[in-house]
Amino acid sequence: MLTETSNDYILLGIGNALIDLFVYNNEEIEKLIKKYELLPKPIDKDFNKINGFLNEVSKYPDTLIVPGGTAQNSLRGAQRSLPPNSTVILGCIGKDEMGKILRRVLNNDGVRTEYTEIDDYPTGISSFSKLSNNKYFVRNNKGAATQYNLEYLKSPSKWKFVENAKYIYVCGFILKENYHIVKEIYKHALENNKIYATNLGSVKLVTKYKYRMDEISPYWDIIFGNESEALAFAEMSNWNTTDIFEVTKKLAQLPKHSSNFVRMAVITRDARSTIYADQNGTIKEYPIIPIVENDLIDATGAGDSFVGGFLSQLIQGKSIDECIMAGHKLANYIIRQVGTQYDSYDSFEHNEVNY
């Protein structure tokens, strides 16, 4: 039973409820690409072809099926370092087997799933297929994820989790189809003195939906992103700089509605470092945890897992150094395997970096 003083489900995530498929049978995949006449670049508009392709890929015996989606990946990571019943996810799935898999895996990872199930759309899927030239062939159909709406969000059984949460992490990608959801959430966070965190999403999202980000940015308490996304934001803002330290500082010091929380900007730089800046002018660079090249398997979900680690410590009142270290630890673990899987994280022996 949720109460106003409850610390249960303190971290709420809202984003695209997706399944990721990873396939390495490049001969079969290349046959399917020809069968469905799919193009080398992801510009196909015929969703019947794409859905046919995804349906066949999902049935291959060697296909790895794991949860995807920015918010889901981050909350699953955060829950690893939080007390039980700390995280809950909202989103939309289909009434199908993929939806059941999402529920099962997230629940096993300790995340409460408050999905809305719908009949007319399948659970969203992204496929990552490695071809013989070592390049990835990526196709997706967000399906039911795009259909989340205010009616679903404001239903009493779901909205009570919004009211209860003290930290809210919203996936940047939902700016495209679910902007009305984003607006409802950031206004609620401001009016109720909650921490609103989000991410820049992708370079494409920044360049195409910068005007929406400009409307939302005064509500940002924490903004995450990678270097390419941050530089794209700077270019679209006419900041006339490619200095990532200056860009991170400017992100942190954008105009802000609330003075109750000092805004943080956290920008990851792949294998180089992470840059932290806040609204008060603090800026610091953190080295990543080193990894042997042969141990690096797949970077899918690394940024999401970093966010999860960071938030898990922030919620518990830890220092920024500890937040960054927790993010780096999770990301260092995730890049050692295919897909965003946390099954053996608790027994993983971490290297340490002194901050």
Q: Which helix (H) or strand (E) holds 70?
A: helix 70-79
Task: Look up residue 228 and give its two tokens.
Answer: 């390419």
Q: Which helix (H) or strand (E) holds 22?
A: strand 18-23
d(CA 28, CA 36): 12
Instruction: Centre a 10 Å sphere on the Cβ of residue 41 and count the other Cβ atoms it contains.
Output: 8
Secondary structure of residue 277 in the 3-state scheme: strand
According to DSSP, the β-strands at 273-278 and 283-287 are: antiparallel
First to last CA, the chain: 40
Q: Which residues pair with 117 in a beta bridge?
A: 93
Taking CA atoms, 168 is separated from 100, 229, 293, in Å, by 25, 21, 35
User: Of how many residues is the chain composed?
Assistant: 355
Q: Pick the catalytic residue from 304, 321, 343, 346.
A: 304
d(CA 111, CA 76): 6
Q: Is 214 a catalytic residue?
A: no
d(CA 206, CA 195): 22
Q: Which residue has the tokens 């995949």?
A: 29
Task: Look up residue 18 and give its two tokens.
Answer: 């997706």
Q: Which residues are catalytic?
A: 304
